Amino acid sequence: MNRINRVAIVGGTHGNEFTGAYLIQKFAQFPDLITRPSFETATLLANPQAFAVGRRYLEKDLNRCFLKQDLQNPTLNSYEELQAKSIQKSLALNGKQADFLLDLHSTTANMGLTIILVNTHPFNLKLAAYLSEINPLVKVYHCSFESIAENPFLNSLCELGFAIEVGPIAQGLLKATLFQQTEELIHAILDFLERFNQAEIPLTNETLTLYHHLSVVDYPKKQDGTIFGMIHPELQNKDYQALNPGEPMFLTFENKTIVYQGESTVWPIFINEAAYYEKGIAMALTQKQQLKIWRC
């Protein structure tokens, strides 16, 4: 593949996720922090109106507005839908497409430092393997789509790059440790891209631990959709830890335990994510895999 010429760092896609939004403000004030000799780095606050009022979104989740067919649909005109179209244009400023895209997020779940891959491009995998090697706190979650046209996330706009998800942190506030860890991860990524342009890609582990998306699990609900249970105390904060058949999953309001009834071990993530209550989603289930990474 060719060299990296333009990198885009996006924050505030969700307006109440302050880590990314304030990092974007910091980088705008101190651009030397993200300047590297061989490529241009641009920053973007994705959802400024939602950020201004501390809400995830105003009318529609911006990170679900990037389906190719939606971006091309002139009848879609909610604030976030129009913002998605504006972002698509801004990432191709003056005809220069972004070669690499970072989208910064935070979560109330105990996800630590998570990289979310929406494809398995060899470059993304090699970078993810490098980051997990230099920082054992980094986990790699793969959420795939049949095609790029079916990907509604902002990262669908660029084949190279991924989202960074950090937590646990409450919505609408900053936590210094996670802020610093996210910034360090960004610097490591930019340094890797610079070395790539100099034909000096660092060696990485031969295998990458990947958590591959299987499904989402809803909270226990009545027929009218009302939730009648919560995450079991034994599962709370156990993101990326094995959940075996028969182990506690939910606790109903009548203090009855609902166990995991699957046939094989899974690794839950996004456990009790606050933003997913509106969808009734309790967690996502993943399969832990070891993926071969070829050295240069």
Indicate whether 197 and 90 sit together in one domain.
yes
Same domain, yes or no, for 245 and 101?
Answer: no
pLDDT bin (cut points 50, 70, 90) of residue 179 is very high
Write out pLDDT tens, residues 94-138: 567 899 999 999 999 999 999 999 999 999 999 999 999 999 999
Q: Which pLDDT score is estimated for 1?
A: 67
Residue where a domain terminates, one of 176, 205, 234? 205
Alpha carbons 251 and 44: distance in angstroms, whole number: 41
Task: Say what the pLDDT of residue 92 is.
Answer: 75
Mean pLDDT of the chain: 94
Question: What gap in Å lies between CA 74 and CA 68, rounded to an integer?
Answer: 12
Residue 31 is part of a domain; what is its CATH number? 3.40.630.10
- Whether 52 is covered by a domain: the verdict is yes
* pLDDT score at 201: 78
Q: Total structural domains in the chain? A: 2
Confidence grade of residue 293 (pLDDT, cut at 50, 70, 90)? confident
Q: Which of 172, 190, 205 lies at the terminal end of a domain, its last residue?
A: 205
Same domain, 88 and 17: yes
Of all residues in the chain, what percent carry a pLDDT higher than 90? Answer: 89
Domain boundary among 153, 171, 205: 205
Query: Is residue 50 domain-shared with residue 76, that is, in the same domain?
Result: yes
Domain interval for residue 131: 6-205
* Domain annotation covers residue 196: yes
Flag whether 1 is in a domain. no
Give the pLDDT mean for 179-203.
93
Tens-digit pLDDT profile for residues 265-285: 999 999 999 999 999 999 999
The model's confidence at residue 150, banded by pLDDT at 50, 70 and 90, is confident
Whether 47 and 171 share a structural domain: yes
233 and 162 share one domain: no
* 176 and 36 together in one domain: yes
What's the mean pLDDT in 186-203?
92
* Together in a domain, 175 and 252: no
Strand order in the sheet with 138-142: 40-45, 6-11, 100-106, 161-167, 112-117, 138-142, 207-218, 281-292, 267-269
**Amino acid 91: pLDDT:** 85
- 80 and 166, same domain (yes or no): yes
CATH of the domain at 266: 2.20.25.160
Q: Report the pLDDT averaged over residues 221-234.
A: 96
Q: Based on the domain organization, do 232 and 163 belong to the same domain?
A: no
Residues 62 and 126 in one domain: yes
Based on the domain organization, do 141 and 82 belong to the same domain? yes
What's the predicted TM-score (pTM) here? 0.95
